[in-house]
Amino acid sequence: MTLDGPALATLRRRAFDLRIDNLDAIASAQSGHPGGTLSAMDLLQTLYFLEMRHRPAEPHWAERDRFVLSKGHAVPALYTVLAHAGYFSRDLLPTLRHLGSPLQGHPADFLLPGIEASTGSLGQGFSIGIGMALASKLDGDKFRTYVMIGDGESQEGQIWEAAMSAPKFGLDNLCVILDHNKIQLDGSVVDIMNIEPFADKMRAFNWNVLTIDGHDYPQIAGAFAEARATKGKPTFIVAQTIKGKGVSFMEGKVAWHGVAPNKEQLAAAVAELRAAQALVKEAA
Ligand SMILES: Cc1ncc(C[n+]2csc(CCOP(=O)(O)OP(=O)(O)O)c2C)c(N)n1
């Protein structure tokens, strides 16, 4: 699918529905991570609605592209995108974190078709994605692998082992996205353990590095296209994002890393998102 005018308008409008369903699920669980789900949403939507080759009705299709959410705590955003893409009914979303639900607080590949890897212990998903990309090369398969990591997560040592490995194996079928929202669990990344200059570090490790606005659909789509066209080395996308994106009282606030909105807060967030969506509809 190409990003023409109507496709772009659809992405922009759906972004509000996704953010609302995501927050609704977290509120129904009364547990979860609003900030890092909202920062990742536009990247995830672009992957599943524009970039990746996949079949929601056939989740184990051998040729599907793979996606690993290494920052596993943001899985409500992925569940929401998967539901809207047709993997399962949206009615399941409010069962998030409930006993017996396949939608647990961290992704479990044995519980839900569409989830490619069980993650949540930060640092591990990047390496899992490298394994998938390497296997694809060795087997002569055509699928691509995408991984999303967090900036706080990037303080894990395993991230840097992975960063060294992928270029060594020439994994041009691998694209890693950093959701660079500048905030981790209890403070700003710069204050706790500065990871900058991140793009320069990855370039020094021999990655093809792109820096984009992670809420700008044409930029996101362009980066994925460039990653696909790049041969001989893996691509690392530094996506500049805003934690809590779309809800003014959550944006850039550490306090909204891992706290569910109460009834009133959810209503305020939904009202704001619906009002913004109406403006986008008018402009279209
Ligand atoms: C190994 C490990 N240590 C600690 C945690 C608890 N934890 C969950 S989210 C989080 C902060 C992650 O920050 P970041 O990667 O910036 O995520 P984002 O801001 O995108 O939500 C931490 C420490 C964990 N899941 N795994």
The minimum-distance atom of ligand 1 relative to the CA of 185 is: 11
Using alpha carbons, select from 59, 57, 44, 52 the residue that is nearest to residue 11: 44
Q: Please, which pLDDT band fits residue 282 given cuts at 50, 70 and 90?
A: confident
Report how far ligand 1's centroid is from the alpha carbon of 27 (Å).
20
- Mutate which of 124, 184, 194 to test ligand 1's pocket (most atoms within 8 Å of Cβ)? 184
Q: Please, which pLDDT band fits residue 283 given cuts at 50, 70 and 90?
A: confident
The answer, yes or no, to whether any atom of ligand 1 lies below 6 A from the CB of 245, is no
Report the pLDDT averaged over residues 92-115: 98
The answer, yes or no, to whether any atom of ligand 1 lies below 6 A from the CB of 243, is yes
Query: How does pLDDT run across 202-238, given as a tens digit for each residue?
Result: 999 999 999 999 999 999 999 999 999 999 999 999 9
Strand pairing of 174-180 and 145-150? parallel
The residues, any chain, with a CB within 8 Å of residue 7's CB and separated by 6 or more, are 1, 50
Query: How does pLDDT run across 1-12, given as a tens digit for each residue?
Result: 678 889 999 999
Instruction: Report the CATH architecture of 5-283.
Output: 3-Layer(aba) Sandwich (3.40)
pLDDT at residue 24 tops 70: yes
Report the pLDDT averaged over residues 160-169: 98
The answer, yes or no, to whether any atom of ligand 1 lies below 6 A from the CB of 208, is no
pTM, whole model, 2 decimals?
A: 0.98
The token pair that represents 122 in the structure block: 């930060």
Angle at 22 between CA 105 and CA 7, to 5 degrees: 130
Q: Where are the domains of the chain?
A: 5-283
What is the model's pLDDT at position 281? Answer: 78
What is the model's pLDDT at position 1? Answer: 62
The answer, yes or no, to whether any atom of ligand 1 lies below 6 A from the CB of 150, is yes
Query: How does pLDDT run across 142-160, given as a tens digit for each residue?
Result: 999 999 999 999 999 999 9
Report how far ligand 1's centroid is from the alpha carbon of 31 (Å).
15
The answer, yes or no, to whether any atom of ligand 1 lies below 6 A from the CB of 179, is yes
The answer, yes or no, to whether any atom of ligand 1 lies below 6 A from the CB of 122, is yes
Peptide bond into 197 cis (omega under 30): yes
The answer, yes or no, to whether any atom of ligand 1 lies below 6 A from the CB of 183, is yes
